[in-house]
Chain A
C-alpha cells in the first residue's frame, strides 16, 4: 500500500471524523457545565433535516445552515428548561429529544416534500462545497508533501476546517478565559460558583447554547456537505458514538480530536475492508466489518481507557435550598 492508497483512506477518515468531532465538542461544553447530553444525536438529526429542507426550499445552503443552528439551539433550550429550571432527569430529557427528532423529521419531511421523509437532492451549488487552499495544484507537484497538501489538507468544505479549528479554540476557552474557568467550575462544584456570586443557571444556559450551535453545524455537515439530502435517521448513532468518544477523551478537547480521528479511520477502513479477501480467513461477512467501529467503542470504553472521571456535578440538578 503506497501513499496513493493511504491518502484517500485518510481523506475519508477526516470526513467521517468531522461530524463526530463537532458533536463531541458540543457534548464537552454541555457536560463540562454539568448537564448530561444524551440528545446530541437528536439535535444533529433535527439540524441535518432543517439544513437540507431549507436549502432545498430556498436554494441557498447558508439559509440551511442558519436553520440547522436555529433548530439545534431550540432543542438544546428545551433540554435546558427541563434539566436546569425544572430539574428533571437529564437522561430522560435527552432520550425524549432523540425520539422527537427521529419521528419529527420524517413526519415534517413527508408532509412538505412527499418523498417518504427524505428531502430532494441538492445540486452542487446548493451544497457547501470544497475549498481549494492556496497553491494546492502547485504544491501538489512536490513529492510526498505535495499530495498530502493537495489531496488531504486542501479540498474540504469550510465546516471541516471549522471543526478542526474548534479544538484549539475550545482548549483555549476552557483554560485561558473567564468563561472557561467558570464553565469548568460549574460542572465540578456549582455551589462554589454560587457562593462566589455567579449564576449557575446563566452559565449552564450559555454552555447549552454553544452545544446547540455545534450540533447544528454537525447536522448541516451531514446533509448539505457530506451528503446531498436528508434521509431518515441519517445520523445513525453518531451522537452516541460522540458521547462515547467524549468519555474516551476524558472530557478534554485535544483528546476528543484524537479519539474522533480514530473512530474516523475505523469507519473509513470498514468501508475499504468490505469484500476484501483476508489471508487464511478469506472473505469476512460485511456485517462483521461494519460492526467494527461499534465493537471498538465497547472495547475501549470497557477496558482500555482507565478511569475516566466525569465532571463531578454532571447529571445533578442544582438546588440552592438545603
Chain B
C-alpha cells in the first residue's frame, strides 16, 4: 500500500530516483452532499504508466481534475516531484509540468491544429512568432514520438483519433512531463486505441510519466506498469500490474459484499416475451457498442445483465426500448418484430407492451422542472383516461398521480411539487410508478437504484419482484453486481459489447469477476 512510503521532501535532488512524480496524501473532495473522493492516497512513480481503474462514478476523474487544478480539494496534500504544492488552477498545473487529455476533448472545433496548440501559450501578443515556433516544435514532436498531425488542418475535419493526438501534442507543447489521460479509448476504434498505446509507451520510454484513467481492464493489463483501484470515492489499493490479474482487479473494483437480502420464491418462467436476435449496435461516431447479442426473457422471470459500466449495456437498453436504431439483428416482443423505421419507435414499442425505466432519470426519465403530476403521466398523456383529443383533463391526471403516490409511497405526497425537489429515491419511484402502473408485458429497467437511499432500494426491489410474480417479464440492467445477483433469476454478463456467459445468480464472486473481465469462467 501507499501510506508507508518514506520520503524526504527536503532533499529532492539526492533522492531523485525514489521521489515519485506525483504523490497525493489524504485528498478529499465533496460536491454538496456527494463525497466524490474520500481520503485518497496515491503515489505515481516517475517514468511509468500508472493506471487508475474503477467503475463510472468511482471518483477517478474528480481526483485527476484536482491534480490538474480544475477543482480544489477540500483536504489533503499534493506533492509534485517531492515538492508540496497548492495547485491553484490549470495554468499552475501546466507550469508544474502536469498536462491532461480530457475525456471530452478541449479543442476549438473551427480552429486549426496549430491555433489549438498555441492557445494559452502564445507568448507574444502577436501570433506570427509563436506560430512559427509551434510549427517547428510540432515537427520535432512528430519525429520523436510519431505523433503526426497536419498543423494546418481544421479540427472539425480530423478523426477522433487525430483529435486526441492534438490533445496530447497540446500537453507536450506546454512542457508536460506528467500526462493524465481520462478514458482515452472510450471514443476510439480498437486500431486507434492500439496506436495510442504505442504512443504512450514511447512517451514513457522517453522519460514521461503517464496516468491512465479507465474502466477497461484489458487496457490496464496491456499497457500499465502499476495500477490503482478506486471504488465509490475511495482508493482500494495499488498493485504492480504484473502481480495481478483481470479477475482480481474486477473483484477489487466491484467489491466483495454480503448479498442484499431480497426474499423471493423460485421463478416460474412462461412464454418468451422478449427475444433479441443477433443484435449489433453502432454508436453515433461509428464505434461498435453491442456485438451480435442474442438472448430472450420469458414471462415470470427476471433476467439480469451484469458488467462493468460502459460495456454496451446502455446501447443495448436504448435499442430494445426503441430509442436507437440497431445496425443489425432483430428484436421481438410477444413474437412481433420491432420495426425500426424513423421516429416514434419508442412509442410503438410501448404500445407493444414494453415499459422502460431509463438508466438516467434526469436525462431521460423526468423533466425535473415539471410538477410531479406532469411527470407522472409524461409519455402516456395520450391515454384515454387523461382526456379526449387535444384536451387534457388536468383533474384526471392529478387524481391519477395521487393514486400512484399512494401506491408507490412517494414522499412528500404532493403532486403539485416540482420534481426537482423530490429526493433521488422518490424521483426514481415517480418513474417506476409511471412505467409499472399499467398493462405491460415486459419491464426494461436500467440502474433502478442508482443514487437511491437504502429504504427506497428495498421498496423498488420488492416492486420489481412483485411484477415478476404477476407473470410479467423483467430485464434488469445494473452495474451494481449485488443488485443483479439478488434480484435476477438468470444473469447474463456483458463485456465489450458481447454477452460473455450466462451465470446463475448463485455463482461465486470469482466467476462473476472473471466474466466481467471478459473471460468465460467455464473455459478457465
Contacting pair A181 B125 (CB below 8 A) = no
Contact present for A195 and B102 (CB under 8 Å):
yes
> Is B127 a contact partner of A178 (Cβ separation < 8 A)?
yes
> Do A181 and B31 touch (CB < 8 A)?
no
| Structural contact, B125 and A177, CB atoms closer than 8 A | yes
| Minimum C-beta distance from A52 to chain B (A) | 37
User: Bound complex: CA of A184 vs CA of B111, how far in Å?
Assistant: 9
A197 nearest CB neighbor, chain B only = B91
Q: Which of A152-210 contact B (CB under 8 A)?
A: 176-182, 184-185, 188-189, 191-198
Closest to A312 in B: B109
Q: Whose C-beta in chain B lies nearest to the C-beta of A196?
A: B120
B91 is contacted by which of A191, A192, A198, A312 (Cβ under 8 Å)?
A198
- Whether A195 touches B122, Cβ cut-off 8 Å, given contacts A181-B127, A188-B111, A189-B109, is no
Would you give the shortest CB distance from A156 to chain B, in whole angstroms? 31
- Which parts of A282-322 form the interface with B (CB within 8 Å)? 312, 320-321
Task: Name the CB-closest residue of A to B115.
Answer: A181
Is the Cβ of B121 less than 8 Å from the Cβ of A196?
yes
Give CA–CA (A322, B115) in the complex, Å.
26
Q: Is the CB of A197 within 8 A of B110?
A: no
Q: How far is the CB of A202 from chain B (nearest CB, A)?
A: 12
CB pair A188–B126 under 8 Å, yes or no, is: no
CB nearest neighbor in A for B89: A197
Neighbour of A177 across the interface among B68, B92, B93, B127, CB < 8 A: B127
**Other-chain contact of B94, A179, A182, A191, A197 (Cβ < 8 Å):** A197
Whole-angstrom CA separation of A314 from B127 in the bound complex? 24
Residues of A within 8 A of B211 (CB): none
Residues of the B chain whose Cβ atoms lie less than 8 Å from the Cβ of A188: 108-111
**How many chain-A residues does the 8 Å CB contact rule pick out?**
22
**With contacts defined as CB atoms under 8 Å apart, how many contacts are there between chain A and chain B in the complex?**
74
* Chain B interface size, under 10 / 10 to 19 / 20 to 34 / 35 or more: 20 to 34
Question: Can you show 17 pairs from A to B with CB atoms below 8 A apart?
Answer: A176-B127, A176-B128, A177-B126, A178-B124, A178-B125, A193-B120, A194-B70, A194-B90, A195-B70, A195-B100, A196-B90, A196-B106, A196-B119, A197-B89, A197-B92, A198-B120, A321-B31
Residues of B within 8 A of A192 (CB): 106-108, 116, 119
Interface residue B118 (Cβ < 8 Å from any Cβ of A): yes
Given A184-B111, A321-B31, residue A195 in contact with residue B127 (CB < 8 A)? no
**Inter-chain contacts of B122 with A (CB < 8 A):** 178, 181
Taking CB atoms and an 8 Å cut-off, the chain B residues in 77-129 that contact chain A are 89-94, 100, 102, 106-111, 115-116, 118-128
Residue of B with least CB distance to A195 = B106
In the complex, chain A residues whose CB is within 8 Å of the CB of B124: 178
A247 vs B289: C-alpha distance in the bound complex, in angstroms? 40
* Chain B positions within 8 Å of A197 at CB level: 89-94, 120
Output the least CB separation between A160 and chain B (Å): 28
Q: Give the nearest-CB partner of B92 in chain A.
A: A197
Known: A189-B109, A192-B107, A192-B108. A182 touches B119 (CB 8 A): yes
Chief secondary structure at chain B's binding surface: loop
Nearest-neighbour CB distance to chain A for B47, whole angstroms, equals 25
Are A178 and B126 in touch, CB under 8 angstroms?
yes
Known pairs A181-B122, A197-B92; A189 contacts B127 (CB<8 A)? no
A184: which B residues are within 8 A, CB to CB?
Answer: 108, 111
Q: What DSSP secondary structure best describes chain A's contact surface?
A: helix
The 10 A-B pairs of least Cβ separation, nearest first, read A197-B91, A196-B120, A192-B106, A178-B122, A195-B106, A197-B90, A188-B108, A185-B108, A189-B108, A198-B120
B126's nearest neighbour on chain A, judged by CB, is A177
Residues of B within 8 A of A179 (CB): 125
Contacts of B121 in A (CB 8 A): 196
| A179 to B126 alpha-carbon distance, docked (Å) | 8
Q: Which of B91, B109, B118 contacts A181 (CB 8 A)?
A: B118
Could you tell me the distance in whole angstroms from the C-beta of A100 to the nearest C-beta in chain B?
29
Q: How far is the CA of A191 from the CA of B103 in the complex (A)?
A: 13
Known: A181-B127, A192-B108, A196-B106. 5 other contacts (CB 8 A): A184-B108, A184-B111, A185-B108, A185-B115, A195-B68
Taking the nearest CB of chain B, how far is it from the CB of A255, in angstroms? 16
Q: Which of A178, A182, A189, A321 contacts B106 (CB 8 A)?
A: A189
Bound-complex Cα distance A230 to B128 (A): 45
What are the residues of chain A within 8 A of B106 when measuring CB–CB?
Answer: 189, 191-192, 195-196
CA distance A98 to B340 in the complex (A): 50
Contacts of B123 in A (CB 8 A): 178
C-alpha spacing A113/B460, complex, angstroms = 73
Q: Within the complex, what minimum Cβ distance (angstroms) separates B129 from chain A?
A: 10
> What residue in chain A is nearest B105 (Cβ atoms)?
A192
Is A176 within 8 A of B126, CB to CB? yes
Interchain CA distance A195-B92 in the complex, whole Å: 11
* Smallest beta-carbon distance B32→chain A, Å: 10
Q: How far is the CA of A196 from the CA of B70 in the complex (A)?
A: 11
Residues A195 and B90 in contact, CB atoms below 8 Å apart: yes
Residues of A near B94 (CB, < 8 A) are 196-197
A178 nearest CB neighbor, chain B only: B122
Bound Cα distance from A184 to B127, whole angstroms: 14
How long is the Cα–Cα vector from A189 to B119 in the complex, in angstroms? 12
**Roughly how many angstroms separate A181 CA and B89 CA in the complex, as a whole number?**
21
Residues of B within 8 A of A312 (CB): 109
Nearest CB on A from B126, distance (A): 6
Alpha-carbon separation in the docked complex, A185 to B120 (Å): 10
B39-75 CB contacts (< 8 Å) to partner A: 68, 70-71
Residues of B within 8 A of A177 (CB): 125-127
- Residues from chain A with a CB closer than 8 A to the CB of B92 are 197
User: CB-nearest residue of chain A relative to B93?
Assistant: A197
Q: Closest CB of chain B to A112's CB: distance in Å?
A: 43
Q: Is the CB of B119 within 8 A of A193?
A: yes
A192-B68 Cα distance, complex, nearest whole Å? 14
Tell me the chain A residues, 208-238 only, with Cβ under 8 Å from chain B: none
Min CB distance A81 to B, Å, is 22
| Residue among B31, B71, B90 with max Cβ neighbours from chain A (10 Å) | B90
**Nearest-CB distance from A103 to chain B (Å)?**
33
A200 to chain B, nearest CB (A): 11
